[in-house]
Copies of this chain bind each other. A is one copy, B any other.
Amino acid sequence: MAISQSCDATTLLRRLRAGELTAQAVARLSLDQIAARDRAVGAWAFVDPASAIAAAQAIDGVPDKRALHGLPIGIKDVIATADMPTRYNCALYADPPAMADAACVALLRQAGALILGKTETVELAAIGHVARTGNPHALDHTPGGSSSGSAAAVADGHVPIALGTQTGGSIIRPASFCGVWALKPTWGLVSTEGAKPFAPSLDTIGWFSRSAADLALVLDVLAPPTPSSPVPPAGPVAAMDPVTLNIAVWRTAGWPRAERATVDAMANTIAALQRVGARVTELALPAHFDGLAQAHRTVMMAEGQRSFLAEYRRDASKLHPRIAMMVEQGGGFGSADLRAAYDLAAQARATFDAVASGYDAVLAPSTIAEAPHGLAETGDLLFNGLFTLLHVPCVNMPFHRASNGLPVGLTLTGPRFADARVIAAASAVVRACDAAA
């Protein structure tokens, strides 16, 4: 049995729990795929096959099969691991200090997952050196960033699940470019302890997978159950009927910059939804929403200035010049700009939640188009930064292809803390597209 795009974590887990597969066998399949492919793809910053096999054997020796029993998971190399180095793709951390497991890594291990290795990242998950990773669908195209290795590793069949982080568009953009599912949860829902901070009021742990069901699987482990939730509990993600879907479309102020692949993906999805009988409503949000992209940039740069101050003072020459400049100038924003950005964001969050609560989910672009050629830049966060600032859950739905065959995704979002509902709606949207095809 190969671990491939056709085999998601939910399927693997069923076979692991049934005893049809051992954790060790699954780990070997992952390691074989990495050995065969990673010289070309460059998704991994650290993998130690012997340790991984030993850890898988230990999991096989545990009598009770836990929620993620034996699933191999990749961890973006800005998230701390006790048993593997964490280097942030930053020269300052070439000789990394000992660290404890990040909270999310500890939760995965407690659930029986196998932490397989560390995936390549843009420097400090920010705006520095890019990852060496290529897009598995076309190696001379960017996989997106900053969670480049995690997206590529899942897309290329190395692991069924990988963790990333998003402060601007670092999960949804690479998911769109690499053609995989991803969830950037509601801000604050998953502890970021042990992930390198960039802009704490934006930083979010998320993950990549090969199915919508897998997104919910990991959410159930990393987020605590919330009592008296106003949104339906997770449940089986197949539960929403495409026919009864009530979807809003918000193209955002960036829409005029969307290119052919994204324009087609939106048009095709809307047409498919309408064909199966779903309701589709175009949203017009208040004018102050047009300021969100700039507000996002203000918050990111101003908070980044504080986050990287200690690195800068330690040895600025070992930071990428763009990161050093961020510390020196904070993006040029003063505290009045920052207060205004915070207050605009807060106002828009309340408004967006109120509007989005009237629909099953809100459809939006994920990226301007498919992955651009070249590895020097990781693409634009045009359609991501504002949602990160809104703190809302975002799912990348990976089911479209550009005319050159490269994937392009769309975002499904909703009110804060409606993560499970958005995942369920995303699954239903994909079934609507399948039914209409």
Q: Which chain A residues in 53-105 approach chain B with CB under 8 Å?
A: 82, 97-100, 103-104
The answer, among B98, B314, B334, for a CB contact under 8 Å with A226, is B334
Return the CB mask of A327-350 against B: 1 if under 8 Å, else 0.
Answer: 101101111111100110011011
**A306 adjacent to B197 (CB under 8 Å):** no
- Docked Cα-Cα span, A330 to B225, in Å, equals 9
Distance in angstroms from A228 CB to nearest chain B CB is: 3
**B342 adjacent to A349 (CB under 8 Å):** yes
Answer whether residue A430 sits at the interface, using C-beta atoms and an 8 A cutoff. no
Query: What residue of chain B has the Cβ atom nearest to residue A187's Cβ?
Result: B201
**B110 adjacent to A310 (CB under 8 Å):** yes
**B110 adjacent to A223 (CB under 8 Å):** no
The answer, among B200, B230, B337, for a CB contact under 8 Å with A334, is B230
The answer, among B82, B189, B230, B342, for a CB contact under 8 Å with A336, is B230
Q: How many copies does the complex hold?
A: 2
**A106 adjacent to B310 (CB under 8 Å):** yes
Answer whether residue A303 sits at the interface, using C-beta atoms and an 8 A cutoff. yes
**Contact of A313 with B107 at beta-carbon distance under 8 Å, contacts A332-B227, A334-B228 already known:** yes
**B110 adjacent to A313 (CB under 8 Å):** yes
Answer whether residue A307 sits at the interface, using C-beta atoms and an 8 A cutoff. yes
**A342 adjacent to B334 (CB under 8 Å):** no
- Docked Cα-Cα span, A106 to B416, in Å, equals 35
The answer, among B107, B110, B193, for a CB contact under 8 Å with A197, is B193
Chain B positions within 8 Å of A274 at CB level: none
Name A residues whose Cβ lies closer than 8 Å to a Cβ of B: 82, 97-100, 103-104, 106-107, 110, 188-193, 196-197, 200-201, 223-224, 226-231, 303, 305-307, 309-310, 313-314, 327, 329-330, 332-339, 342-343, 346-347, 349-350, 353, 415-417
